[in-house]
Structure 1
């Protein structure tokens, strides 16, 4: 394993992050504050509790997942797309670096950025509501797995995209609706029975449900299913990336 190459890619990507640290730090803080003002005040005044948890505290795991998922995708996709756009990816492919080291460098940096923002949002939320974390180890595990898996998805999107518009196509038209319809701001038990069944086909439900369980011990689906869903998704992304580098799809052509 060429750790020097991994470190070089990782440092390069993190340097881009620190150059815009104010934006990376204040943007999630402001967004989280606005969500609490809008949802916590407007909706929270009508919905006092959800399954014994105050509504403001109930939406915290969903807010963290919303920001972390979108940031992981955008950072990873832009990170690998720019070398394609500038043509420097051929220098990377001709260097003594295998695809595993490339993926670790880019995905590791994107996951680190998303993880940082996740903790920033968690700290910000603690100023608005009283948070309790019943399973802190599970919380960190879910957060890390989420950052890694969606960074892998973003890496795939960055390789697939032929222009800047395509990079935002999947996050805006697919991922964002799935997150908002995946129980971010509500429990699926509040839906009519038919919609509860339909919602279970949304893979994001299992992610948010498992993450919320780590906070309050509440889950819309069994925790085992949530773990299985995130592991299968991560494995599928890894397998697809392996196929991309094996065939050179959208890289060498």
Structure 2
């Protein structure tokens, strides 16, 4: 029995990272500038009026939300664009006919996209320290949560890239669904600040559980229990893996 084709996985992984290296200056500067602007606007203007939330300085409180918001966007964009381009150029047929399994293909593309998202996440984390004293109650849990989020949303982006039939469709879900859900998911406020029935309605927003879980790794507290956050992330991973397995089994929008 042949073992995993590690050379193929490494080749795809390096190719995708090379695309990131060609634009590394822009890719690194944009999150730094964006994070700085958020701190100036939200940390300065709003933070001067709302100094603390649940005993946490407001400028520190928004950091987990900023990191998650950027990682959501980066993960989806990198993974969807990475698999969409072979479809667009027609090289997907060479990939499908090569001795590379579906699992190896997913590991390579999702691994490269997750690597980029993690780099951006840690850059924002480092930038935040320039503006605020930022404690991390559970550092290993923080890194693990970032990895889980990156992989989960890269798998989601991979599905989006296969589903999309044009560049416009690549932008629809991130811009019209994920970004609004993030802003309404407690990135810049605690959902406990909302009055009913909006507090209960907000609990149906899945982003709430992701941001809350990540915030727990920093401050030891969140809007919902950490067990619910982990349960949601695990469920998202399982669903995405199931959909990708079905896509490769049926050839949905891969062979057309």
Same fold (TM > 0.5): yes
Q: Which residue of structure 1 lines up, in the alignment, with residue 20 of structure 2?
A: 17
Q: Which residue of structure 2 lines up, in the alignment, with residue 242 of structure 1?
A: 245
Q: Which residue of structure 2 lines up, in the alignment, with residue 26 of structure 1?
A: 29
Q: Which residue of structure 2 lines up, in the alignment, with residue 101 of structure 1?
A: 104
- Structure 1 position 120, deviation (Å): 0.2
Q: Name which of 61, 68, 75 aligns with 2:78.
A: 75
> How many Å separate the matches in 2 of 1:150 and 1:68?
8
> How many Å separate the matches in 2 of 1:251 and 1:204?
29
Q: Which residue of structure 2 lines up, in the alignment, with residue 228 of structure 1?
A: 231
Q: Which consecutive aligned stretches of 4+ in structure 1 deviate over 2 angstroms post-superposition?
A: none
Q: 2:130 matched to 1:121?
A: no
> How many Å separate the matches in 2 of 1:114 and 1:193?
35
Tell me the SS of whatever aligns to 1:46.
coil
> How many Å separate the matches in 2 of 1:15 and 1:126?
29
CA RMSD of aligned residues (A): 0.5
Q: Name which of 189, 199, 202 aligns with 2:205.
A: 202
- Structure 1 position 193, deviation (Å): 2.3
> How many Å separate the matches in 2 of 1:225 and 1:11?
35
> How many Å separate the matches in 1 of 2:37 and 2:221?
25
> How many Å separate the matches in 2 of 1:61 and 1:118?
10
> How many Å separate the matches in 1 of 2:93 and 2:107?
18
CA-to-aligned-CA distance 1:188-236 (integer Å, 9 cap, x gap): 0000021110000000100000000000011111110000000100110
CA-to-aligned-CA distance 1:138-167 (integer Å, 9 cap, x gap): 111110000000000100000000000000
Tell me the SS of whatever aligns to 2:133.
coil
Structure 1, unmatched stretches of 5+, are none
Matches within 5 A, 1:16-165: 16-165=19-168
> How many Å separate the matches in 2 of 1:158 and 1:174?
16
> How many Å separate the matches in 2 of 1:234 and 1:193?
31
- Equivalenced residue count is 253
Structure 2, unmatched stretches of 5+, are none
- Structure 1 position 97, deviation (Å): 0.4
- Structure 1 position 42, deviation (Å): 1.0
